[in-house]
Structure 1
Amino acid sequence: MIHSSIGSPEQLRDPNYTPPLAVAVPLGIQHVLAMFVSNVTPAIIVAGAAGFGFGSNSPDFPELLYMIQMSMLFAGVATLLQTITLGPIGAALPIVQGTSFAFLPIMIPLVAGKGVDALAALFGGVLIGGLFHAALGTVIGKIRFALPPLVTGLVVTMIGLALVKVGIEYAAGGVPAKASGAASYGGLLSWSAALVVILVTLVLKFFARGMLSISAVLVGIAVGYVYALAMGMLSFDAIATSWARSASFALPQPFKYGFEFSFAAVIGFCLMAFVSAIETVGDVSGITKGGAGREATDKEIQGATFADGFGTAIAGVFGALPNTSFSQNVGLIAMTGVMSRHVVTIGAIFLIICGLIPKVSGVIRTIPIEVLGGGVIVMFGMVVAAGISMLSDVVWNRRNMVIFAVALSVGLGLQLEVMNVPPGAPNALQHLPDTLRILGASGILPAALIAIVLNLVLPAHLSDESTDEVTGGLSGHGKGSLSGE
Structure 2
Amino acid sequence: MNDVKKNNDNKKLSDKDLVYQLEGRPKFSVAFPLGMQHVLAMFAGNLAPMLIIASVAKATAAETVVMVQAGMLISGLTTFLQLYPIKIGKLKIGSGLPIVMGTSFAFVPTASAAALVGGIPAVLGGSLVGSIVEGLIGLFYKYLKRFFTPLVIGCTLIAIGINLLGVGRDYFAGGAGAKDYGSWQNLTIAFTTFLFVAILQRFGKGVIKTAALLFGLVFGYIVALLFGKVSFAAVTTASWATIPLPFHFIPTFDAKTIISFIAIYITIAMETIGNTSGITIATMDRQATEEETSGSVLADAVGCAAAAVFGSMPNTAFGQNVGIVSMTKVINKYCIALGAGVLVICGFLPKLGAVFASIPSAVLGGALISVFAMITINGVKMLAQAGFSERNVLVIGITFAMGIGLAGHADAIKGMPTFLKFFFEDSIAATTFIGILANLIFPEPKKAVATN
The alignment's TM-score, normalised by the length of structure 2, stands at 0.90
Deviations 1:179-206 (A, max 9, x none): xxx3x32122211111111111111111
Alignment of structure 1 residues 205-244 onto 2, 5 Å: 205-234=201-230, 238-239=231-232, 241-244=233-236
CA contact 2:263–2:429 (8 Å) conserved in 1 = yes
- 1:29 corresponds to which letter in structure 2? M
- 2:142 corresponds to which letter in structure 1? G
CA contact 2:408–2:424 (8 Å) conserved in 1 = no
The Cα of 1:5 is off from its aligned counterpart by 6.1
Alignment of structure 1 residues 246-285 onto 2, 5 Å: 246-285=238-277
Against the structure 1 CA distance between its residues 89 and 245, is the aligned structure 2 distance closer, same or farther, given a 3 Å change threshold? same
Against the structure 1 CA distance between its residues 298 and 47, is the aligned structure 2 distance closer, same or farther, given a 3 Å change threshold? same
Pair 1:374 & 2:366 matched: yes
User: In structure 2, what is the equivalent of residue 158 of structure 1?
Assistant: 159
Deviations 1:248-302 (A, max 9, x none): 1122222222233322233332332221111111111111122222221221111
User: In structure 2, what is the equivalent of residue 64 of structure 1?
Assistant: 64
The Cα of 1:372 is off from its aligned counterpart by 0.8
CA contact 1:225–1:367 (8 Å) conserved in 2 = yes
Pair 1:137 & 2:144 matched: no
Q: Distance in 2 between matches of 1:292 and 1:211?
A: 24
User: In structure 1, what is the equivalent of residue 438 of structure 2?
Assistant: 454
- 1:86 corresponds to which letter in structure 2? I
* Deviates further, 409-418 or 202-211: 409-418
The Cα of 1:434 is off from its aligned counterpart by 7.2
User: In structure 2, what is the equivalent of residue 96 of structure 1?
Assistant: 100
User: In structure 2, what is the equivalent of residue 441 of structure 1?
Assistant: 425
Q: Distance in 2 between matches of 1:459 and 1:148?
A: 11
Q: Distance in 1 between matches of 2:417 and 2:85?
A: 42
Q: Distance in 2 between matches of 1:435 and 1:260?
A: 20
CA contact 1:133–1:273 (8 Å) conserved in 2 = yes
SS in structure 2 of the partner of residue 367 of structure 1 = coil
User: In structure 1, what is the equivalent of residue 9 of structure 2?
Assistant: none
User: In structure 2, what is the equivalent of residue 174 of structure 1?
Assistant: 175
- 1:446 corresponds to which letter in structure 2? A
Against the structure 1 CA distance between its residues 253 and 432, is the aligned structure 2 distance closer, same or farther, given a 3 Å change threshold? farther
Alignment of structure 1 residues 322-361 onto 2, 5 Å: 322-361=314-353
User: In structure 2, what is the equivalent of residue 301 of structure 1?
Assistant: 293
Deviations 1:34-61 (A, max 9, x none): 0111111111121222233xxxxxxx22
Against the structure 1 CA distance between its residues 107 and 292, is the aligned structure 2 distance closer, same or farther, given a 3 Å change threshold? same
Q: Distance in 2 between matches of 1:269 and 1:147?
A: 16
- 1:103 corresponds to which letter in structure 2? F
The Cα of 1:153 is off from its aligned counterpart by 0.5
Q: 1:6 aligns with which of 3, 15, 22?
A: 15
Deviations 1:52-94 (A, max 9, x none): 3xxxxxxx22111111221111111111111122221111111
SS in structure 1 of the partner of residue 316 of structure 2 = strand
User: In structure 2, what is the equivalent of residue 110 of structure 1?
Assistant: 114
Deviations 1:319-374 (A, max 9, x none): 11111100110111122221011211111111111111111111001111111111
The Cα of 1:13 is off from its aligned counterpart by 3.8
Identity %: 34
User: In structure 1, what is the equivalent of residue 389 of structure 2?
Assistant: 397
Q: Distance in 1 between matches of 2:19 and 2:335?
A: 11
CA contact 1:153–1:389 (8 Å) conserved in 2 = yes
CA contact 1:292–1:339 (8 Å) conserved in 2 = no
Q: Distance in 2 between matches of 1:432 and 1:110?
A: 21
Q: Distance in 1 between matches of 2:193 and 2:80?
A: 32
CA contact 1:399–1:462 (8 Å) conserved in 2 = no
Pair 1:194 & 2:190 matched: yes
Q: 2:28 aligns with which of 13, 18, 21?
A: 21
SS in structure 1 of the partner of residue 209 of structure 2 = helix
Against the structure 1 CA distance between its residues 19 and 336, is the aligned structure 2 distance closer, same or farther, given a 3 Å change threshold? farther
Q: 1:429 aligns with which of 413, 416, 419?
A: 413
The Cα of 1:415 is off from its aligned counterpart by 5.5
Deviations 1:185-233 (A, max 9, x none): 2122211111111111111111111000000111111111111122333
Against the structure 1 CA distance between its residues 245 and 108, is the aligned structure 2 distance closer, same or farther, given a 3 Å change threshold? same
The Cα of 1:131 is off from its aligned counterpart by 2.2
Against the structure 1 CA distance between its residues 124 and 185, is the aligned structure 2 distance closer, same or farther, given a 3 Å change threshold? closer
**Matched residues, number:** 432
- 1:210 corresponds to which letter in structure 2? G
CA contact 2:19–2:335 (8 Å) conserved in 1 = no
Unmatched tracts of structure 1, length 5 or more: 53-59, 419-426, 465-485
- 1:317 corresponds to which letter in structure 2? V
The Cα of 1:145 is off from its aligned counterpart by 1.7
CA contact 1:288–1:294 (8 Å) conserved in 2 = yes
Q: Distance in 2 between matches of 1:232 and 1:47?
A: 22
The Cα of 1:155 is off from its aligned counterpart by 0.3
